[in-house]
Amino acid sequence: MKRTPKSELRDVLARNLRMFRAERGWSQERLALESGLNRTYLSAVERSEQNISIDNIARLAAALGIEAWTLLKAAA
Protein backbone atom coordinates (compact mmCIF):
# COMPACT_ATOMS: atom_id res chain seq x y z
CA MET A 1 0.00 0.00 0.00
CA LYS A 2 1.26 3.45 -0.90
CA ARG A 3 2.03 5.58 2.17
CA THR A 4 0.15 8.86 2.45
CA PRO A 5 1.86 11.86 4.09
CA LYS A 6 0.74 12.56 7.66
CA SER A 7 -2.22 14.87 8.09
CA GLU A 8 -3.45 16.52 11.28
CA LEU A 9 -7.06 16.36 10.07
CA ARG A 10 -6.76 12.64 9.29
CA ASP A 11 -5.38 12.14 12.81
CA VAL A 12 -8.42 13.95 14.26
CA LEU A 13 -10.77 11.83 12.16
CA ALA A 14 -9.00 8.63 13.23
CA ARG A 15 -9.21 9.53 16.95
CA ASN A 16 -12.87 10.51 16.73
CA LEU A 17 -13.79 7.43 14.73
CA ARG A 18 -12.15 5.12 17.28
CA MET A 19 -13.80 7.03 20.15
CA PHE A 20 -17.34 6.92 18.71
CA ARG A 21 -16.92 3.25 17.75
CA ALA A 22 -15.64 2.38 21.24
CA GLU A 23 -18.51 4.28 22.91
CA ARG A 24 -20.89 1.92 21.14
CA GLY A 25 -18.81 -1.14 21.97
CA TRP A 26 -18.48 -1.90 18.26
CA SER A 27 -15.62 -3.73 16.61
CA GLN A 28 -14.17 -2.52 13.34
CA GLU A 29 -15.99 -5.43 11.74
CA ARG A 30 -19.34 -4.20 13.08
CA LEU A 31 -18.76 -0.62 11.91
CA ALA A 32 -17.66 -1.89 8.51
CA LEU A 33 -20.85 -3.93 8.24
CA GLU A 34 -23.07 -1.05 9.39
CA SER A 35 -21.43 1.44 7.02
CA GLY A 36 -20.97 -0.85 4.04
CA LEU A 37 -17.22 -0.28 3.99
CA ASN A 38 -14.38 -2.81 3.97
CA ARG A 39 -12.91 -3.58 7.39
CA THR A 40 -9.33 -3.39 6.12
CA TYR A 41 -10.02 0.06 4.64
CA LEU A 42 -11.64 1.16 7.90
CA SER A 43 -8.61 -0.06 9.86
CA ALA A 44 -6.30 2.02 7.66
CA VAL A 45 -8.54 5.08 8.17
CA GLU A 46 -8.37 4.57 11.95
CA ARG A 47 -4.56 4.48 11.73
CA SER A 48 -4.50 7.71 9.65
CA GLU A 49 -2.91 5.79 6.79
CA GLN A 50 -5.72 6.13 4.28
CA ASN A 51 -7.37 9.16 2.75
CA ILE A 52 -11.14 9.02 2.97
CA SER A 53 -13.76 10.59 0.76
CA ILE A 54 -16.47 12.89 2.07
CA ASP A 55 -19.02 10.29 0.96
CA ASN A 56 -17.38 7.63 3.13
CA ILE A 57 -17.21 10.03 6.09
CA ALA A 58 -20.96 10.50 5.65
CA ARG A 59 -21.50 6.72 5.54
CA LEU A 60 -19.54 6.23 8.76
CA ALA A 61 -21.37 9.06 10.49
CA ALA A 62 -24.76 7.67 9.44
CA ALA A 63 -23.81 4.22 10.72
CA LEU A 64 -22.74 5.75 14.05
CA GLY A 65 -25.85 7.94 14.24
CA ILE A 66 -23.91 11.22 14.39
CA GLU A 67 -23.43 14.32 12.24
CA ALA A 68 -20.55 13.92 9.77
CA TRP A 69 -18.82 17.11 10.96
CA THR A 70 -18.33 15.62 14.44
CA LEU A 71 -15.82 13.17 12.99
CA LEU A 72 -13.69 16.11 11.85
CA LYS A 73 -13.97 18.30 14.98
CA ALA A 74 -10.77 18.55 17.00
CA ALA A 75 -11.04 18.20 20.78
CA ALA A 76 -11.23 21.54 22.57
How confident is the model at residue 3, as a pLDDT?
62
Taking the model in full, what pTM does it have?
0.89
How confident is the model at residue 6, as a pLDDT?
78
User: CATH number of the domain at 8-68, please?
Assistant: 1.10.260.40
How confident is the model at residue 46, as a pLDDT?
97
Interval 4-52: pLDDT, tens:
677 899 999 999 999 999 999 999 999 999 999 999 999 999 999 999 9
Over residues 40-68, mean pLDDT: 97
Amino acid at 1: M
The pairs formed by 43-46 with CB atoms below 8 angstroms and a separation of 24 or more are 44/1, 45/13, 45/14, 45/17, 46/14, 46/17, 46/18
